[in-house]
Amino acid sequence: MPTAPLPVRDGLNPTRLRLPRAGMWPTALAYLLDRFPTDTVRLREKVESGEVVDEHGTPIDATSPFRPHGFLYLYRDPPVEKRVPFEIDVLYRDENLLVVDKPHFLATTPRGAYVAESALVRLRRDLDLPELVPAHRLDRVTAGVLIFTVRPPVRRAYQSLFDARLVTKVYEALAPHDPTLSLPRTVRSRIVKERGVLQAREVSGEPNAESRIELLETIDGTIGRYRLSPRTGKTHQLRLHMSSLGVPILGDNFYPVVRDVAPDDYRAPLQLLARSIAFDDPFTGEHRRFESRRRLTPPPAG
């Protein structure tokens, strides 16, 4: 992917547009207005102020010709978002890494309705780290340890640890306690997740997902605190495996059935926490382990 000729602004990368191979647009501006018909006023203002550039960083104007298969870069106006009322705690920081304790309900990266209200954008803004990039991701509804790389030269080395499964991840969850369930146990299954479908599902076939599940303690005899150790990283793997055992994680509105919950309803967060992450540093060889300071608590009854 080409390097963007515009810097990060307000924590957000510029938008990159690849122009079609062919078209009847006489100018680049005509193409933009045709593609984004509800944003014509702001697009004209941005072109007039020199905020739309080509891949060489040269601003276009109203007469710049349409160049088939060229690139345009510009800053899109972020949506107006309601602040997620929870803070990010920094666990560790050095020249290469930023390790944080992400709260529930905050997305890792901009996506859909959550752009400015994502951990990445908040941290870039608050800590003045425009080149910050996550080494991995946590779901919006999952809290806990989240690792970012600070500088582009080290990014691939740390991300490769996750790709190669050289990172030990331990989660904690609260779920119903079933005294008949034999634990600890390892759950293996084949999980598929279809685009546009909220739930992942288990199907027959060669297992591609593995989770170690242990009971740590019981609370009031009805709730269990579990240690979950995924050996793989399929979408919703831990949530689905717990549900398949008959003990779905408390606060889960996807499993076993989908429940509609308003985006700003923070009363019953998913009781799933990325408790710790450990790995051997690819540059120093040092064994590193980071642990969340958060504590899961049973949601209020009702």
Buried b / exposed e along 22-54 (16+ C-beta atoms within 10 A): eeebebbbbbbbeeeeeeeeebeebbeeebbbb
Structural domain containing residue 25: 15-74
User: Is the pLDDT reported for residue 286 higher than 70?
Assistant: yes
Last residue of a domain, one of 74, 99, 125: 74
Query: What's the whole-number average pLDDT of the chain?
Result: 94
Report the run of H or E that residue 121 belongs to, with start and end. Answer: helix 119-127
Q: What is the pLDDT of residues 188-240, one digit of tens each?
A: 999 999 998 999 999 999 999 999 999 999 999 999 999 999 999 999 999 99
Tell me, yes or no, whether 58 and 145 share the same domain: no
How long, in residues, is the chain?
302
Torsion of CA 122, 125, 127, 128, to 10 degrees: 150
Residue 102 lies in a domain: yes
* pLDDT score, position 250: 97
Q: What is the CATH number of the domain that holds 40?
A: 3.10.290
Tell me, yes or no, whether 128 and 239 share the same domain: yes
Residue 79 lies in a domain: no
Residue 272 lies in a domain: yes
Tell me, yes or no, whether 153 and 258 share the same domain: yes
User: Average pLDDT for residues 55-66, to the nearest whole number?
Assistant: 95
Tell me, yes or no, whether 64 and 202 share the same domain: no
Residue 135 lies in a domain: yes
Residue 161 lies in a domain: yes
Q: 2 falls in which pLDDT band (50, 70, 90)?
A: low
Residue 80 lies in a domain: no
How many domains are there within the chain? 2
User: Average pLDDT for residues 92-106, to the nearest whole number?
Assistant: 97
Tell me, yes or no, whether 31 and 102 share the same domain: no
Tell me, yes or no, whether 104 and 20 share the same domain: no
Residue 297 lies in a domain: no
User: Is the pLDDT reported for residue 288 higher than 60?
Assistant: yes
Q: What is the pLDDT of residues 240-267, one digit of tens each?
A: 999 999 999 999 999 999 999 998 999 9
Last residue of a domain, one of 74, 102, 118: 74
Type of residue numbered 115:
V
* pLDDT score, position 302: 54
Tell me, yes or no, whether 67 and 101 share the same domain: no
User: Average pLDDT for residues 20-33, to the nearest whole number?
Assistant: 94
Tell me, yes or no, whether 105 and 170 share the same domain: yes
Give percent of the chain above pLDDT 70: 98
Tell me, yes or no, whether 193 and 276 share the same domain: yes
Confirm if 247 and 178 have CB atoms less than 8 A apart: yes
Count CA within 13 A, CB hemisphere, residue 184: 12
Q: Please state the separation of Cα 94 from the chain's center in Å.
A: 22
Last residue of a domain, one of 74, 98, 116: 74
* pLDDT score, position 298: 83
Q: 301 falls in which pLDDT band (50, 70, 90)?
A: low
Q: What is the CATH number of the domain that holds 170?
A: 3.30.2350.10
Confirm if 31 and 39 have CB atoms less than 8 A apart: no
Tell me, yes or no, whether 161 and 52 share the same domain: no
Tell me, yes or no, whether 100 and 227 share the same domain: yes
Tell me, yes or no, whether 52 and 94 share the same domain: no
Residue 5 lies in a domain: no
Higher pLDDT, 3 or 224: 224
